[in-house]
A and B are shown apart, each in its own frame.
Chain A
Amino acid sequence: MGSGSSVNVNYKYSLQKSENAFKAAVLIQQWYRRHVARLEMRRRCTWRIFQSIEYSCEQDQIKLHNFFSYLMDQFTPSSSKERDFISRMFISGESYKEAELEKYCDYESIEVPDSYTGPHLSFPLLPDHATALLEAFQQKQQLHARYVLNLLHETRKHLKQLPNISHVSTCYSEEVTVCGDLHGQLDDLFLIFYKNGLPSPSKSYVFNGDFVDRGKQSLEILVILFTFLLIYPKEVHLNRGNHEDHMVNLRYGFTKEVMQKYKVHGKKILRMFQNVFCWLPLATLIDQKVLIIHGGISDTTDLEMLEKIQRDKFISVLRLKKRKESSRKPQIEAVNGESEAGTDAAGNEAAPRLSLQPQSAQAPNTANRLEFSRWLRQTVQEQIDTCRRLMDISESEPEELTYSSVVSLKDVDEPCWTRQEEWKQVLDILWSDPMPQEGCRENKVRGGGCYFGPDVTEKFLDKYSLQFLIRSHECKQEGYEFCHNRKVLTIFSASNYYEIGSNRGAYVKLGPDLIPHFVQYQANKTAHMLTMTQRISRVEESAFRALREKLFAHTSALITAFRSYDGDNTGKITLSNWATAVESVLRLGLPWRMLRPQLVRSTEDGMLEYKSWLDDLAMEQRSQEHIQSSLLEVIYRNRSNLETIFRIIDRDHSGLISFEEFQQTWKLFSSHMNIELTDDGINDLVRSIDFNKDGNIDFNEFLEAFRLVKQRPS
């Protein structure tokens, strides 16, 4: 009785205890798993936000195209000043012949002062120079303009001898390291060299394009890569990316970076870079088995054609607008616009051949509006297409190239047309993206290249007896990603691309067995120390900030959309309608109901007072009160395009435009946007900005004044 029952009690007690412990474990696990799932959802939503905003930015270019179309077709200038102004927008910079380039961008006359403490380069380059450069850049020193230009000249000489497709063999160097997009993030390059070693006779590298733009040290990256290219020409291989293109650089930061760092010689340096970029090889082939290109392929990609084309002709490679006419005029007539080609009502017409001489930007000296418009349409059609290329997404009709696609060609004497197919080959290689579905279709999001499916990959690999493709061009959370049944590898080397903690960078190593080995990294000490939750929160904050900015930029359209759900004018709408309305305006394809708690703080009975919500958004953006709010909105929405236009106008890259130019730009823009804008409105706007000198506006300051220049949170 006694001991028996106490054993029983003990047994029961411990049984119960372990039962309890078991149940407790289940509860804790259940609770924890919920927490992790939430984190995962947040992480993915954040990623979606960044991607949708990034790609919608590329659609800004479409709007720019519409603006230029509008100018072309409908706007008639009311003064000769306006005419001059507009024509400056359309006539591109001068083009240079080879010899002129050498002369214009010469470096020998540039003296390096004794006070210069940076690295000195002498040619031919030696490994010591590379080390000196690396150290110098780590110390945040700057290479003297003379050496930059010298380096670019030598690089160009070297690149010219290279074929369009570089060949690499693993039997010489045993292992090849392939790196993806760097986008001006020097820290990532340093990290790669630190982890993997510097290029050397026993260490081969392939850098797969997009060395510049977005990050702040594009210049340093190029200097380092070109230096190693010249020291170890057999071991270092560079592919061209879609950002190695001066039209893209205008928008995405490289142009600005160079001009800020080299105030005196920046223009020359940019001109040389523009030239060097078009001499970069288009692809690299490893052991005849692995093809490395920056973007991707299409169902028409032809390696034989790619090998034969003259790659340097494609100074800027973007889409062509289709032409309806097939007849050709051999030459653009004089500036007075006496082309025989007819002009139809919409201003489209037979494509005159591109004039290759540097254009003198003289509009006809007549007050006749009609003739001016005609002149505008006829004479500058070609140059406009440069801009159109940035944004055109004409629909599925087949395109006909009837004239040269490139504005600034180098050599006047060569035949100046390129076949459309050649051009498309290059475009596809640099801009395409893989997609999960089969087939091949136009890449409307980017405005260039196409989306290619696993069947396209399969066929291509088969045709050329290749094993797989390596490409870059798209940011991946882990730094790399396989698709198409492991036949396509995306490698992306810019870590923390969207924000600190957003993604890792990676590089891939291939030995003679061609089995890929990956190394991942994240170039930021703080990122390592943060917990996953903290990292996610931080990236999230950044994403939502960007999203709120976008919402603010569409205030008017949002109000209209909300009102359509608020028939009784109560000032409130349901949260469900909020989500639908927001998507209809922003069209980002985001899961708004999931994101809503981060965007909408206070609701009453599931209803939102939309006007005060929008007011809160506006306050956050710290708008300047005396500026018309609709004007501010338009600025926000179009700032990327505005910046691009300003840079196009600012021919000498000085960063300054005159007050009048600014005013005129605004007038044009606002009439296009159907915004009522008084002169007072513009004056108010301008008065709030500091004038540097003589009625000139430093447009960087202007953009800064409205917090349009994004600062990376430190």
Chain B
Amino acid sequence: MLTFYLRDGLIAEIEKKITEAFEVFDRESNKTVDGREIGCIIRSLGCFPNEAEVQELLAKIEEPDGFVHLENFLRVMTEVLLDRRFQPIPEDVILHAFEALDENKCGYITKEDLVKHLTEEGERFTQEEMEDMLVVALDPETNTLHYRDYRTKLVVDETKIFPFNV
């Protein structure tokens, strides 16, 4: 009985969190959001899905007009959070990822290489995403990305805000 009670309380709290995040993007205050913003909402709830995973989720709840209703989102997202899906990528894994792109192991990646990998491989960046990242990430004098520093910088920014705890 106690576990049921606890679990109910937990679910209620999770649902409130999900609703809050959803409502921030609900422009018309009518409990719907544009499907294209779903990825953003999921991620700001502490999850790290990749694009394929986002699309998979979206496919389950998107209406024909491209919008998503709160009740559907709630249903699906509550499970995601309870199951602790799409866990954060550990810092060292990211470091290794950068290192994998750093052929010469010199601690940095050139702009050209970075652009090539991220816009042509994996779940490709759009032009805009690439430019946005370069603005912050690149060292303007050498046009290279020093990935250790960059990673640390982003991690610090992250932990300031919205640490997610269930």
A contact set with B: CB distance below 8 Å: 20-38, 40-42, 44-45, 48, 436-437, 531-533, 576, 579, 591-594, 597-598, 606
With A436-B30, A598-B161 known as contacts, the answer to whether A28 contacts B98 (CB < 8 A) is: yes
5 residue pairs A–B, Cβ–Cβ below 8 Å: A21-B121, A31-B89, A41-B40, A48-B24, A591-B23
Which residues of chain B are within 8 angstroms of A597 by Cβ–Cβ distance?
Answer: 160-163
Contact B122 A532 (CB under 8 A): no
Contact A37 B122 (CB under 8 A): no
Contact A34 B24 (CB under 8 A): no
Cβ-closest chain B residue relative to A531: B136
Contact B48 A30 (CB under 8 A): yes
Contact A594 B21 (CB under 8 A): yes
Shortest CB-to-CB span from B72 to chain A, Å, is: 20
Contact A41 B133 (CB under 8 A): no
Which residues of chain A are within 8 angstroms of B39 by Cβ–Cβ distance?
Answer: 33, 37
Contact A532 B40 (CB under 8 A): no
Q: Which of B38-60 contact A (CB under 8 A)?
A: 39-44, 47-51
Q: What are the 9 A-B residue pairs with the smallest beta carbon separation, nearest first? A: A25-B122, A37-B43, A591-B20, A41-B44, A436-B28, A24-B100, A24-B97, A26-B122, A27-B97
Residue from the set A26, A28, A606 with the largest chain B CB neighbour count within 10 Å: A28
Contact B117 A21 (CB under 8 A): yes
Which residues of chain A are within 8 angstroms of B106 by Cβ–Cβ distance?
Answer: none
C-alpha spacing A542/B1, complex, angstroms: 46
Which residues of chain B are within 8 angstroms of A531 by Cβ–Cβ distance?
Answer: 135-136
Shortest CB-to-CB span from B58 to chain A, Å, is: 14
- The number of chain B residues with a CB under 8 A from chain A is 54
B27 interface contact, C-beta 8 A: yes
B132 interface contact, C-beta 8 A: yes
Residue from B27, B47, B88, B133 within 8 A of A436 (CB atoms): B27
C-alpha spacing A40/B25, complex, angstroms: 10
C-alpha spacing A576/B15, complex, angstroms: 11
Q: Which of B148-166 contact A (CB under 8 A)?
A: 154, 157-158, 160-163, 165
Contact B162 A41 (CB under 8 A): yes
Per-residue CB contact flags for chain B residues 2-18 toward chain A (1 = under 8 Å, else 0) read 00000001001100110
Cβ-closest chain A residue relative to B147: A28
Contact B158 A35 (CB under 8 A): yes
C-alpha spacing A48/B27, complex, angstroms: 11
Shortest CB-to-CB span from B22 to chain A, Å, is: 9
Shortest CB-to-CB span from B76 to chain A, Å, is: 17
Contact A592 B20 (CB under 8 A): yes
C-alpha spacing A44/B40, complex, angstroms: 12
Contact B158 A29 (CB under 8 A): no
C-alpha spacing A677/B94, complex, angstroms: 61
Contact B121 A591 (CB under 8 A): no
Cβ-closest chain A residue relative to B153: A533
With A38-B162, A592-B20, A597-B161 known as contacts, the answer to whether A30 contacts B89 (CB < 8 A) is: yes
Contact A24 B161 (CB under 8 A): no
Which residues of chain B are within 8 angstroms of A24 by Cβ–Cβ distance?
Answer: 96-98, 100-101, 117, 122
C-alpha spacing A22/B124, complex, angstroms: 10
B118 interface contact, C-beta 8 A: yes
Q: Which of B62-99 contact A (CB under 8 A)?
A: 88-89, 93-94, 96-98
Shortest CB-to-CB span from A32 to chain B, Å, is: 6
B139 interface contact, C-beta 8 A: no
With A21-B117, A33-B43 known as contacts, the answer to whether A27 contacts B94 (CB < 8 A) is: yes
Contact B43 A436 (CB under 8 A): no
Shortest CB-to-CB span from B12 to chain A, Å, is: 8
Contact B121 A38 (CB under 8 A): no
Residue from B12, B24, B47, B122 within 8 A of A29 (CB atoms): B122
B127 interface contact, C-beta 8 A: no
Residue from the set A27, A35, A40, A48 with the largest chain B CB neighbour count within 10 Å: A27
Which residues of chain A are within 8 angstroms of B154 by Cβ–Cβ distance?
Answer: 35
Contact B125 A29 (CB under 8 A): yes
Which residues of chain A are within 8 angstroms of B20 by Cβ–Cβ distance?
Answer: 591-594
Contact B165 A30 (CB under 8 A): no
Which residues of chain B are within 8 angstroms of A32 by Cβ–Cβ distance?
Answer: 129, 133
Residue from B28, B117, B133, B158 within 8 A of A437 (CB atoms): B28
Which residues of chain B are within 8 angstroms of A21 by Cβ–Cβ distance?
Answer: 100-101, 117, 121
Which residues of chain A are within 8 angstroms of B165 by Cβ–Cβ distance?
Answer: 606
Shortest CB-to-CB span from A488 to chain B, Å, is: 14
Contact B30 A26 (CB under 8 A): no
Residue from A29, A42, A48, A579 within 8 A of B16 (CB atoms): A579
With A24-B100, A41-B44 known as contacts, the answer to whether A594 contacts B24 (CB < 8 A) is: yes
